[in-house]
Amino acid sequence: MTDLTRLTISQAREKLRAGEISAVELTDAYLAAIDAANDKFNAYVAVTHDKARDMARASDARLAAGQGGALEGIPLGVKDLFATEGVHTQACSHVLDGFRPRYESTVTSNLWADGAVMLGKLNMDEFAMGSSNETSWYGPVKNPWRATGSNADRVPGGSSGGSAAAVAAFLCAGATATDTGGSIRQPAAFTGTVGIKPSYGRCSRWGIIAYASSLDQAGPIARDVRDAAILLKSMASVDEKDTTSVDRPVPDYEAALGQSVKGLKVGIPKEYRVEGMPQEVEALWQQGIAWLKEAGAEIVDISLPHTGYALPTYYIISPAEASSNLARYDGVRYGLRVPGKDIVEMYESTRAAGFGDEVKRRIMIGTYVLSAGYYDAYYLKAQKVRTLIKKDFDDAFAAGVDVILTPATPSAAFGIADKEMASDPVKMYLNDIFTVTVNMAGLPGISVPAGLDGQGLPLGLQLIGRPFDEETLFRTAHVIEQAAGTFQPQKWW
Amino acid sequence: MSVDLDTVKRVARLARIAVSEEEATVMAGKLNSILGFVEQLNEVDVSGVEPMTSVIPMEMKKRADKVTDGSKADDIVANAPATEENFFLVPKVVE
């Protein structure tokens, strides 16, 4: 029999509905692949064998009764940031040791209600703070992609590194992820997968461990554009448990695929041509422009003048929100407790032992910029710049631009334990230079694989849309995918 | 602006994170790298610009002031490191 883990979600869906394969067979194929290869990738931090088989059996019963949901029997991986009832949920932090929530996040509830099967929890940067998956308490994840002729391990990107690696290595059919500054789109670009961060408010944040609440959004990582559309349709909802969840119906994203981009106005922002960007990234961008032009789109040069300020703004706003959100980890209600002679020493020792260096840095920066005397100079200033960043996009869309095309990342995946990245936190932060603007403005952004660099590593393009116009992103990304093809790593594992 | 060792220790205390002398020194270097990076926002003229409060313009959702949840003390203390009869246990706070 052919390897069932190679089926896309849309292919598996057809075979399950036609009764050609069962959900149990498909789930067992993934569990066997995980058991054989997870030691090599470190993508899963918990595998839920029994739960997966129970869910698959229930899916088979529903399929047999003709009551299958939109994702009936599809095995998925879940980023460790999503609360899953009774199952390992730690944001890959030591401070949440042993935490097993008594509730389920809205996004995962939606997926299970549509019949999806949970395979386990996926590795990530601690509290989603990182761009390489190296800040995880559980250790780094390996990218299934390697440079041609090399055995050196590369990072899968982050923070959703486990999600991207598991999808690329065929250890799940698709995965949930989250994106605060690029954590869906950058790992997708590094692994040759498709990742979409929807508009702020499209997916409920309820039950997702909070990092920076005004920026956090959930979205899928998938093997192709169609699978991403199928997953987002299920994940998105209106939720009264999240006051920022937006009250508008979820469209059928899959229906946007195959529609023409003739006459679509595609903006090319000149500020995304940054110093030191490899020529290959520039060439890929030009290729993307050519593909869309051939498909009938109209290409227009635009300017988003505050682009360069998005990353420094992000490194004020996100640590500020994080310092507040992470105040709850104090050794009292859940997770780790390190005893102390009094309550303050207990708090301080617990947090010192429980948080990793990057998380501590961001809490410290956040505490500093919010402290008396500095609030106006840092936080208030950043929120004003954020208004200007959003206005740049508003102006471009008001001038008739339908979608914006940029590179997804300034480079391909770099090596694990890269010395330059480790020496200066700002070097690592620059990975998000093209993605972070989108979070600042609350817009939807999709990363779609578009080619390989000279070393045989995948590179992605990013499309940015109007608020709640994910359909145009799927339509345009599909055109790029049709032209570029899909990319799979050489199996070495 | 840059932070000195005393400021790092003061902020660590505010953030309730214990730091050793050595950790504070390493941290000061990395924090100053980040603060140096965000310094470039000084170039931006923000006079007359409103600070962002909500990225998607929407009215705050409200619901009726009714109890919709509760009676799950067991669930709430289930993950706590130390409890007694549905209370969280902490070191003595009041002498």
What count of residues does chain A have?
Answer: 493
Neighbours of A67 (CB within 10 A): 10
Q: What is the pLDDT of residue B2?
A: 83
Confidence of residue A31 (pLDDT cuts 50, 70, 90): very high
Confidence of residue A425 (pLDDT cuts 50, 70, 90): confident
Q: What is the pLDDT of residue A180?
A: 98
Q: Count Cβ atoms within 10 A of the Cβ of residue B42 and give its class: 0-12 exposed, 13-18 middle, 19 or more buried.
A: exposed
Strand order across the beta sheet in which A298-302 lies: A44-47, A117-122, A75-79, A174-179, A217-222, A194-197, A445-452, A458-465, A403-407, A265-269, A298-302
State how many domains chain A has.
Answer: 1
Q: What is the pLDDT of residue B1?
A: 64
Instruction: Tell me the CA distances in angstroms from A221 to A9, A66, A76, A349, one per residue in order.
Output: 12, 28, 10, 37
Contact A312 B40 (CB under 8 A): yes
- Minimal Cα–Cα distance from B7 to chain A, Å? 9
**In this model, does residue A304 exceed pLDDT 60?**
yes
Label the pairing between strands A117-122 and A174-179. unpaired
Instruction: Give the structural domain span for A150.
Output: 1-493
ipTM for this model = 0.96
Among residues A136, A159, A127, A118, which one has the least CA distance to residue A42?
A136
- What structural domains and CATH numbers belong to chain B? 5-42 (1.10.20.60)
Q: What is the pLDDT of residue A275?
A: 85
Considering only CB atoms, which chain A residues are within 8 Å of B80? 332-334
Mean local confidence (pLDDT), B43-72: 91
**In this model, does residue A433 exceed pLDDT 70?**
yes
Any long-range contacts for B36-42 (C-beta under 8 Å, 24+ apart)?
B36/B2, B37/A311, B37/A312, B37/A315, B37/A426, B37/A429, B38/A312, B38/A313, B38/A315, B38/A316, B38/A378, B38/A382, B39/A312, B39/B1, B40/A308, B40/A309, B40/A312, B41/A309, B41/A312, B41/A313, B41/A316, B41/A381, B41/A382, B41/A385
Considering only CB atoms, which chain B residues are within 8 Å of A308? 40
- Minimal Cα–Cα distance from B63 to chain A, Å? 9
Mean local confidence (pLDDT), A426-446: 95
Considering only CB atoms, which chain B residues are within 8 Å of A240? 61, 63
What element of type H or E holds B84? strand B83-84
Closest residue in B to A336 (Cα–Cα): B81
Considering only CB atoms, which chain B residues are within 8 Å of A323? 15
A469 versus B62: the higher-pLDDT residue is A469
- Asked if A435 contacts A185 with a C-beta cutoff of 8 angstroms, the reply is yes
Question: Who contacts B83 (Cβ-Cβ below 8 Å, separation ≥6)?
Answer: B77, B89
What is the tens place of the pLDDT at every residue in A328-384? 999 999 999 999 999 999 999 999 999 999 999 999 999 999 998 999 999 999 999
Closest residue in A to B29 (Cα–Cα): A424
Q: Out of A105, A183, A323, A411, pick the active-site residue.
A: A183
Question: Who contacts A153 (Cβ-Cβ below 8 Å, separation ≥6)?
Answer: A142, A143, A146, A415, A416
- Minimal Cα–Cα distance from B55 to chain A, Å? 6
- Asked if A245 contacts A110 with a C-beta cutoff of 8 angstroms, the reply is no
Confidence of residue B60 (pLDDT cuts 50, 70, 90): confident
Instruction: Tell me the CA distances in angstroms from A175 to A83, A195, A351, A363, B95, one per residue in order.
Output: 14, 10, 30, 28, 51
Q: How far apart are CA A453 and CA A153, in angstroms?
A: 17
**In this model, does residue B54 exceed pLDDT 70?**
yes
Q: What is the pLDDT of residue A276?
A: 84
Confidence of residue B59 (pLDDT cuts 50, 70, 90): confident
- For residue A66, the domain's CATH number is 3.90.1300.10
Confidence of residue A424 (pLDDT cuts 50, 70, 90): confident
Known active-site residue A79: yes
Instruction: Tell me the CA distances in angstroms from A184 to A162, A444, A445, B3, one per residue in order.
Output: 11, 12, 10, 33
Label the pairing between strands A44-47 and A117-122. antiparallel
Known active-site residue A447: no
Mean pLDDT of chain B, nearest integer: 93
Among residues A185, A182, A156, A150, which one has the least CA distance to residue A171?
A156
Longest pairwise C-alpha distance within chain A = 70
Mean local confidence (pLDDT), B61-65: 87
What is the tens place of the pLDDT at every residue in A121-140? 999 999 999 999 999 999 99
Nearest residue, CB atoms, A371 vs list B14, B34, B60: B14
Residue of A199, A329, A333, A368 for testing the chain B interface, max B β-carbons within 10 Å: A368
In whole angstroms, what separates CA A69 from the centre of its chain? Answer: 24
Confidence of residue B35 (pLDDT cuts 50, 70, 90): very high
Q: Out of A131, A132, A159, A447, pick the active-site residue.
A: A159
What is the tens place of the pLDDT at every residue in A175-208? 999 999 999 999 999 999 999 999 999 999 999 9
Confidence of residue A417 (pLDDT cuts 50, 70, 90): very high
What is the tens place of the pLDDT at every residue in A229-273? 999 999 999 999 999 999 999 999 999 999 999 999 999 999 999
Mean local confidence (pLDDT), A146-173: 97
The dihedral formed by the CA atoms of A267, A272, A278 and A284, expressed in degrees to the nearest 10: -10
Q: Which two tokens stand for residue A417?
A: 């334990």
Considering only CB atoms, which chain A residues are within 8 Å of B1? 374, 377
Q: What is the pLDDT of residue A217?
A: 98
Q: Count Cβ atoms within 10 A of the Cβ of residue A277 and give its class: 0-12 exposed, 13-18 middle, 19 or more buried.
A: middle
Question: Who contacts A157 (Cβ-Cβ below 8 Å, separation ≥6)?
Answer: A131, A132, A133, A143, A164, A186, A187, A188, A189, A190, A191, A409, A413, A431
Among residues A213, A160, A150, which one has the least CA distance to residue A189?
A160
Contact B34 A365 (CB under 8 A): yes
What is the tens place of the pLDDT at every residue in A89-116? 999 999 999 999 999 999 999 999 999 9
**In this model, does residue A1 exceed pLDDT 60?**
no
Residue A266's φ and ψ, nearest 5 degrees, are -105, 120
Q: What is the pTM of this model?
A: 0.97
Contact A102 B72 (CB under 8 A): yes
- Minimal Cα–Cα distance from B92 to chain A, Å? 7
Nearest residue, CB atoms, A315 vs list B34, B75, B88: B34
Question: Who contacts A130 (Cβ-Cβ below 8 Å, separation ≥6)?
Answer: A136, A158, A159, A358, A428
Considering only CB atoms, which chain A residues are within 8 Å of B39? 312
Mean local confidence (pLDDT), A394-418: 97
**In this model, does residue A158 exceed pLDDT 60?**
yes
Mean pLDDT of chain A, nearest integer: 97
Known active-site residue A159: yes
Considering only CB atoms, which chain A residues are within 8 Å of B94? none
Longest pairwise C-alpha distance within chain B = 57
Contact B80 A100 (CB under 8 A): no
Q: Which two tokens stand for residue A188?
A: 């997708």
- What radius of gyration do chain A's Cα atoms show? 21
Nearest residue, CB atoms, B19 vs list A306, A352, A384: A352
Q: How far apart are CA B89 and CA B84, in angstroms?
A: 7
Contact A244 B51 (CB under 8 A): no
* Amino acid (one-letter) located at B1: M
Report the percent of chain A where pLDDT is more than 70.
100
Residue A51's φ and ψ, nearest 5 degrees, are -60, -40
Contact A214 B55 (CB under 8 A): yes
Nearest residue, CB atoms, B15 vs list A339, A364, A384: A364
Contact B56 A101 (CB under 8 A): no
Residue of A203, A206, A365, A390 for testing the chain B interface, max B β-carbons within 10 Å: A365
Contact B44 A99 (CB under 8 A): no
Neighbours of A492 (CB within 10 A): 9
